[in-house]
């Protein structure tokens, strides 16, 4: 694979070297910009919270009414997920 | 065979690069995001702060807070225990996207200073490691929030469910009752509480670390940095 790329690149050794460098940088850029941000949520390293869906919508004793937007689940155990980590 | 070897070597290099991305590059991204958020906060403080009368003793009758807006940071958190240079911005929501920009507020929990439980999540590792040192928190440590118009100072408490003087509870991700207005594992009576959540172990997601505190003081921004941040 790498041998084929090297042979395919045009020019003398120095031009080939320069083009290789540009290729490598382009690939690393693509990985950091698109591939890794895409792959990241598929891995468990960034699960850091208890699931917000599990925040109950009840008004606790002395608690303020929860603002709109909160889910109205009353039984956290019935919900998937958990605290984000 | 040689081609196969090259494929494996390439995969190895890509995985190594991913580690660099997670441990280093997400920190760079988080610092940039924080700079953006701080800029937004400065703007909001100028815009809204100008409408707040300066000499009214806010502490006596705290003005009703506007609901937090999606996508808009509403405060900066300082925790002296984490060092002088440590400060992070907070915005509503705890999805991965929001936590990439700093700390996240559990939507539906109380707002800062309100009755109930003001609940905040943060990454332990990656994206600037905001809550890396949560295990070092001790009873009595201060958590200071610089809001748009007010300072809020919370003091870390010893949860009733923990022995000795331990402040940090380790639990499972499904234990969402830690976010209750009166979390039974920490308190027996209603109050104005704060909850910090992060993951445990550092690179895992099997457990969560929880820290609770109660509101100690609430002062207008114009009255200057609270004592907890001085000295």
A·B CB contacts under 8 A: 178
The one catalytic residue among B39, B199, B207, B214 = B199
B21 with A31: Cβ contact below 8 A: yes
Structural contact between residues B53 and B149, judged by C-beta atoms closer than 8 angstroms: no
In a domain, A8, yes or no: yes
Q: What is the pTM of this model?
A: 0.81
What's the pLDDT score for residue B14? 95
What's the pLDDT score for residue A73? 34
In a domain, A62, yes or no: no
Element (H, E) at B11: helix B2-20
Structural contact between residues B199 and B205, judged by C-beta atoms closer than 8 angstroms: yes
Beta strands in chain B (DSSP E): 75-78, 87-92, 103-105, 116-121, 142-146, 150-156, 168-171, 192-200, 207-220
Name the CATH topology of B2-51+66-229. Answer: Sortase; Chain: A; (2.40.260)
In a domain, A75, yes or no: yes
Segments making up each domain of chain B, as ranges: 2-51+66-229
Q: Which domain holds residue A7?
A: 2-57+67-84
Of B6, B94, B114, the CB nearest to A64: B114
What's the pLDDT score for residue A60? 29
Catalytic residue list contains B123? yes
How confident is chain B (231 residues) per 10-residue block, as mean pLDDT? 88 94 93 96 87 56 75 95 94 91 93 94 91 94 94 95 89 89 93 93 86 95 89 63
Structural contact between residues B112 and B75, judged by C-beta atoms closer than 8 angstroms: yes
Judging contacts by C-beta atoms under 8 Å, the chain A residues touching residue B15 are none
B205 with A47: Cβ contact below 8 A: yes
In a domain, A24, yes or no: yes
Give the 3-state secondary structure of residue A33. Answer: helix
Domain count along chain A = 1
Residue B114, phi then psi, degrees to nearest 5? -85, 165
What's the pLDDT score for residue A42? 80
């Amino acid at each position: 694979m790498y041998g084929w790329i090297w042979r395919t690149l045009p020019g003398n050794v120095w031009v080939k070297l320069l083009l290789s460098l540009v290729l490598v940088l382009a690939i690393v850029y693509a990985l950091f910009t698109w591939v890794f941000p895409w792959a990241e949520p598929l891995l468990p390293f960034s699960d850091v919270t208890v699931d917000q869906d599990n925040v109950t919508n009840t008004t606790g004793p002395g608690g303020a009414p929860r603002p709109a937007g909160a889910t109205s689940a009353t039984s956290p155990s019935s919900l998937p997920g958990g605290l984000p980590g | 065979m040689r081609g196969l070897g090259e494929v494996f070597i390439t995969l190895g290099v890509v995985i190594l690069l991913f580690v660099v991305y997670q441990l280093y590059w997400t920190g760079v991204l988080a610092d940039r995001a924080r700079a953006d958020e701080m800029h937004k906060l400065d703007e909001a403080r100028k815009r809204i702060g100008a409408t707040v009368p300066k000499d009214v003793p806010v502490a006596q009758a705290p003005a009703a807070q506007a609901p937090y807006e999606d996508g808009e940071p509403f405060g900066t958190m300082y925790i002296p225990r984490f060092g002088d240079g440590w400060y992070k911005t907070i915005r509503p929501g705890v999805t991965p996207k929001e936590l990439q920009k700093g700390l996240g507020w559990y939507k539906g929990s109380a707002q800062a200073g309100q009755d109930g439980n003001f609940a905040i999540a943060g990454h332990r590792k990656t994206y600037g490691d905001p809550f890396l040192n949560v295990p070092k928190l001790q009873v009595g440590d201060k958590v200071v929030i610089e809001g748009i118009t007010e300072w809020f100072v919370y003091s870390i408490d010893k949860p009733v469910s923990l022995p000795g003087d331990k402040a940090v509870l380790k639990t499972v991700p499904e234990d969402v009752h830690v976010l209750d207005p009166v979390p039974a594992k920490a308190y027996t009576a209603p109050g104005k509480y704060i909850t910090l959540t992060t993951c445990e172990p550092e690179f895992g997601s099997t457990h969560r670390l929880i820290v609770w505190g109660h509101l100690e003081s609430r002062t207008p921004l114009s009255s200057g940095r609270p004592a907890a941040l001085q000295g």
